[in-house]
Structure 1
Amino acid sequence: MRWRIAAVVAAAGLVSACTATVTGTPQPAPGRVTVAPVSSTDPCTLLTTDEAADLGLGPGTPMPAQPKQRVPPGCDFRPTDPEADLDDSVQLFYGTDQTMAEYFAAQPVGEKELGGVTWQVYSSIMGDWLCNLGTELGETEFVVISGQNLMEPEKSCVVAERVAPTVATHLPPH
């Protein structure tokens, strides 16, 4: 019986000797977005790195605003499949200084309910290979999802529609 008690005491001593307290706050790897900020207008926070991976997309790459062209800041998510090229990529835009009608300068051609959010469907002046889904968050605040597929234009909305429900979870209530 004594040897059992001695073994338990020795094991407890070993376990406690192997633990150490590390100070600080755990951080994800650089460039890895794991939790979207509560109220951010950064389009790269509309999909976390893990969510993008689940959708077959790599981490988002920020795209600066182009004020002269009235293009808000964006974030480019490319497929992880190296054969995909630009097909099935998606860009997210978060506008805060114009209306969605001013941004598109066109009327929507349809509407889709995705992720509990109503998304307006807009044609692209670039052609059918580009699909735009937009939702207004306020008078001059909106989010646009642009999907593209050059090789199969009829599939340009597939990736945008697949991404929209996840993006919807990160939108502020409106």
Structure 2
Amino acid sequence: MRWRIAAVVAAAGLVSACTTTVSGTPQPAPGRITVAPVSSTDPCTLLTTDEAAELGLGPGTPKPAQPSYRVPPGCEWRSLDPDASLDDSLQAYYGTDQTMEEYFAAQPLGEKQIGGITWQHYSSIMGDWLCNLAVKLGEMEFVVLSGQNLLDPSKSCVVAERAAPIVAAHLPQR
């Protein structure tokens, strides 16, 4: 009996010696966004990595702002289809230093109700192969989703429209 008690005590000592408390906060693998932070102006948080994958897109790649061209910080998700090139990719921009009207300097082509909010549809100076959906969040705050399809311009809005209800769920409530 003493032998069994000694074995149990020894085993407990070994198990406790093998455990270590690690300080810090658990983090996902680099480049993997699993939960969008609340009230973030980082455009790459507008879609989680899993949401992007559901849309057929890879992880988001941050794009720095280009102040001289009035382009806010952005994020790009490329299609997982190796034959897609830049077609069916998605870009998101989160502007906080100019109005949406200043950014586009044009009237919207129309409105689209997607994901419970009204998105403005803007043309692009680049051509019909590029689609811009934008939503105003405040006087100096807006989000733009840009889709593109060079091979078939009639499909330029497809990815942006599919992403819009997901992005809408991550936008701050106003």
Provide TM-score, normalisation by structure 1: 0.88
Q: Give 1:112's aligned residue.
A: 112
3-state SS of paired residue (1:154): helix
Rounded Cα–Cα distance in structure 2 between residues aligned with 1:117 and 1:38:
18
Amino acid at match of 1:23: V
3-state SS of paired residue (1:111): strand
Q: Give 1:71's aligned residue.
A: 71
Aligned pairs for 1:29-40 (under 5 A) are 29-40=29-40
Aligned pairs for 1:127-138 (under 5 A) are 127-138=127-138
Provide TM-score, normalisation by structure 2: 0.88
**What's the C-alpha RMSD, in Å, of the aligned pairs?**
2.2
Rounded Cα–Cα distance in structure 2 between residues aligned with 1:161 and 1:20:
49
**5+ residue gaps in structure 2?**
1-7
Q: Give 2:100's aligned residue.
A: 100
Aligned pairs for 1:17-166 (under 5 A) are 20=19, 22-24=21-23, 25-166=25-166
Per-residue deviation at 1:55? Answer: 0.8
Per-residue deviation at 1:117? Answer: 1.1
Per-residue deviation at 1:21? Answer: 5.4
Rounded Cα–Cα distance in structure 2 between residues aligned with 1:153 and 1:68:
28
Deviations 1:44-77 (A, max 9, x none): 0000111111111000000010101100000000
Rounded Cα–Cα distance in structure 2 between residues aligned with 1:23 and 1:105:
52
**5+ residue gaps in structure 1?**
1-8
Per-residue deviation at 1:39? Answer: 1.1
